[in-house]
């Protein structure tokens, strides 16, 4: 079911990586308005405690709600791993989607052998969220994980192709290439889709790459339809960017991830419930926030 | 002049990089006690505003003072660039030393041609602190700077030698190699000394590498002697480590930087002046804190 609900979809990440998810959302649903929040003041989340990440995620959602979004996409693997339960329990008034469940689901569908690979940052791999999500969906699954700590820096530096990049990828993925059964590889970090072609060349065509940005976008489309929130218009949606620090660096690095020039608004993310008691009240009473515009 | 002052030298950095400075201090003054604080909860400083970095640096110094240190070494280029003036103005009761001035000084001494190179993180290069420090000391100097964004990740991953590492270094340093006059290269990031051998192989023997960890350690030794704080004992000094988050990761990554097994105590760094008015008072009155032990 489609609707006239032009409120944006709120997307947040600790920094620029979530832009791959934003891009996939825009490609999947070109007419939806999108509002991106990069918590660049507190990036990276990967080295913070789960409790801190939960608090940051709640604050990001509150900041997006204050701009009247109709759904939330947590475009950050660390926050998806640490905070999905907290966010869903607290924000019951709108759909909240992460990147791990959709990636794990499509990975399980794509693998014939049941032997999947997962590559991500050190924090995501150590937390084990992908392995848990995959084995919950498919009990016979075998998961081989590799932390690829240099990939984020490669992606942000714009080094996404060429012999040197492939040599670096090769060094990380050699153990996965040596596993003859492994036939699906989940890109468990939102930075990694920009390295997709180079990764594919290294692992070869027998391994299907599962881009967790694209799978999250498809899942979001479905979820909006279920909630009758999918906008019915032919008009191109608008995209607005917010960051908590360094809008210039964000705009510069974002070029690698998002194919057009953008400018970002700098915002403060604070423990909003302390300052806007009205929010807490609305939230507790389950009130729907009124419709706004970008 | 030597003394019986066994209080430790306080060393702080945003994370693990400052351990190269700690190591150099230990090699330069094996009998001094050292207290290291890694502000791992707020790493990296490089993407934060100068005002935030100044606040963090002041909080770190207060935390070290609460453990009764006799001198402060700011083992972090970002904090040295942003906060040295603030720290020296505020903490007049003890010597405070950064890493930029010693590196710039030795770089100027080592270069015959006057054409120096500086490699550092993106934030340090953009801030221009090394170029300013060098041209202040030597007005005829020409400085070529290159931001080597991947080097921190390389160092923390323990990738410090081999063909792949040299190929990555080569890609960054090609413009400096192409400058025939350039004869001194300042390693303007505390992570970089662990890549020193590989960098030397890439730039060749005609370029002198200036290790800002070693130069800061030599300067610290001199400064302590000037203040009559240099400990007169033959005993091996003790080293104690504190971090603001993730002591396990710190201990693991630290192995690349520090040649022995270590464990770190987790501490909170807060706006201490709000909670310990006594400190503020001591500080304003210029009182010397009484001597303590590690």
Which tens digits make up the pLDDT trace of B114-172?
A: 999 999 998 899 889 999 999 999 999 999 999 999 999 999 999 999 999 999 999 99
- Interchain CB distance below 8 Å, A153 and B150: yes
pLDDT of B270 reads: 52
Task: For residue B232, give the 3-state DSSP assignment.
Answer: coil
- The per-residue pLDDT for A291 is 25
- Which of A32-46, A163-177, B92-106, B138-152 is predicted least confidently? A32-46
Residue B150, CB-side half-sphere exposure with 13 Å CA sphere: 24
Predicted pLDDT at B1: 64
Q: Is B252 on the interface with A (CB under 8 A)?
A: no
**Under an 8 A CB cutoff, do B48 and A41 touch?**
yes
Closest CA to A66 of A278, A284, A286, A254: A278
How far the first Cα of chain A sits from its last, in Å, is 23
Q: Which residue has the higher pLDDT, A150 or A254?
A: A150
How does the average pLDDT of chain B come out, rounded? Answer: 88
Yes or no, beta carbons of B157 and A149 under 8 Å apart: yes
Residue A13 marked ligand-binding: yes
Give the pair of three-digit tokens for residue A44: 């990276």
Is the pLDDT confidence value at A77 over 90? yes
Distance CA B137, CA B131 (A): 10
Q: Which whole number is the average pLDDT over A97-114? A: 97
For residue A207, the Cα-to-chain-centroid distance in whole angstroms is: 22
Decide if B189 is catalytic.
yes
Cβ contacts of A245 on chain B, cutoff 8 Å: 47-49
Torsion of CA B59, B65, B66, B68, to 10 degrees: 160
What is the CB-side half-sphere exposure of residue A13 using CA atoms within 13 A? 21
Write out chain A residues lying below 8 Å of B125, CB-based. none
Decide if A224 contacts A71 (C-beta within 8 A).
Answer: yes
Computed over every residue of chain A, the mean pLDDT equals 88
User: Does residue A293 register a pLDDT over 60?
Assistant: no
Give the residue on B whose Cα is nearest the Cα of A53: B41
Q: Comparing A109 with A278, which gets the higher pLDDT? A: A109
**Direct distance between the N- and C-terminal alpha carbons of chain B, in angstroms, rounded to an integer:** 23
Residues of chain A contacting B168 with CB distance shorter than 8 Å: 164, 168
- Low-confidence stretches of chain B (pLDDT < 50) are 271-294
- Which of B46, B149, B172 has the most A C-beta neighbours within 10 Å, making it the best mutation to test the interface with A? B149
Q: How far is A41 from chain B (nearest CA, A)?
A: 7
Q: Strand pairing of B115-120 and B184-187? A: parallel
Per DSSP, the three-state class of B237 is coil
User: What count of other Cβ atoms lies within 10 Å of the Cβ of residue A5?
Assistant: 18
- CA angle, B7 then B35 then B6, to 5°: 15
List, as ranges, residues 227-246 from A with C-beta within 8 Å of B.
Answer: 245-246
CA distance A83 to A50: 8
The reported pLDDT for the residue numbered A32 is 96
Strand partners, A185: A117, A209
pLDDT at residue A51 greater than cutoff 60 = yes
Give the whole-angstrom CA distance, residue A79 versus residue A240.
21
Please tell me if residue B50 touches chain A, with a CB cutoff of 8 Å: no
Active site residue: B108, B148, B189, B220, which one? B189
Residues ≥6 apart with Cβ < 8 Å to B157: A149, A150
Residues of chain B found within 8 Å of residue A154, distances taken between Cβ atoms = 150
Q: Which pTM was predicted?
A: 0.85
- Judged by a CB distance cut-off of 8 A, whether residue A78 touches chain B is no
Distance (Å, whole) CA B52 – CA B269: 14
Alpha carbons A24 and A28: distance in angstroms, whole number: 6
pLDDT bin (cut points 50, 70, 90) of residue A45 is confident
Could you confirm whether A189 is annotated as catalytic? Answer: yes
pLDDT of residue A1: 64
State yes or no: A52 annotated in a binding site.
no
**Nearest Cβ partner for A168 among B122, B164, B249:** B164
Residues of chain B found within 8 Å of residue A40, distances taken between Cβ atoms: 47
Is A48 part of the contact surface with chain B (CB cutoff 8 Å)?
yes
The rounded percent of chain A whose pLDDT value lies above 70 is: 90
Name B284's Cβ contacts closer than 8 Å, sequence gap at least 6. Answer: none
Query: A55 — contact with chain B (CB < 8 Å)?
Result: no
How many angstroms separate the CA atoms of B11 and B29, rounded? 14
Tell me the DSSP string of chain A. Answer: -EE---PPEEEEESSSTTHHHHHHHHHH-TTS-EEEEE-TTT---TTS-HHHHHHHHHHHHHHHHTT--SEEEE--HHHHHHHHHHHHHH-TTS-EE-SHHHHHHHHHHH-SSSEEEEEE-HHHHHHTHHHHHHHHH-TT-EEEEEE-TTHHHHHHHT--SSHHHHHHHHHHHHHHHT-TT--EEEE-STTGGGGHHHHHHHH-TTSEEEEHHHHHHHHHHHHHHHTT-EE---SPPPEEEEESS-HHHHHHHHHHHSSS----EE-----HHHH-HHHHHHHHHTPPPPP---
Q: Which of A154-158, A249-253, B272-276 has the lowest mean pLDDT?
A: B272-276
pLDDT at B269: 66
């Amino acid at each position: 079911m489609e609707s006239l609900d032009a409120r944006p979809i709120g997307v947040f990440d600790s920094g620029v990586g979530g832009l791959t998810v934003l891009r996939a959302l825009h490609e999947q649903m070109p007419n939806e308005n999108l509002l991106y929040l990069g918590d660049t003041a507190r990036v990276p989340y990967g080295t913070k405690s789960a409790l801190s990440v939960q608090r940051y995620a709640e604050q990001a959602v509150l900041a997006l709600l204050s701009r009247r979004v109709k759904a939330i996409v947590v475009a950050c693997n660390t926050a998806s791993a640490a905070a999905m339960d907290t966010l869903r329990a607290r924000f019951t008034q709108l759909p909240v989607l992460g990147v791990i469940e959709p990636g794990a689901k499509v990975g399980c569908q794509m693998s014939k052998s049941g032997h999947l690979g997962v590559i991500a940052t050190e924090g995501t791999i150590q937390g084990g969220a992908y392995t848990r999500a995959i084995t919950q969906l498919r009990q016979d699954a075998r998961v081989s994980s590799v932390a690829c700590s240099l990939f984020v820096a490669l992606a942000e530096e714009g080094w996404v192709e060429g012999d040197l990049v492939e040599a670096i990828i090769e060094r990380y993925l050699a153990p996965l290439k040596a596993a003859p059964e492994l036939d699906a590889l989940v890109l468990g970090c939102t930075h990694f889709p920009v390295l997709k072609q180079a990764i594919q060349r290294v692992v070869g065509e027998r391994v299907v790459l599962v881009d967790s940005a694209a799978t999250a976008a498809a899942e979001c489309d479905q979820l909006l339809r279920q909630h009758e929130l999918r906008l019915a218009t032919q008009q191109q949606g608008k995209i607005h960017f917010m960051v908590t620090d360094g809008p210039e660096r964000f705009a510069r690095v974002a070029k690698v991830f998002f194919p057009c020039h953008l400018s970002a608004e700098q915002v403060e993310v604070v423990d909003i419930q302390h300052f806007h008691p009205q929010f807490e009240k609305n939230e507790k009473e389950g009130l729907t926030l009124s419709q706004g515009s970008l």
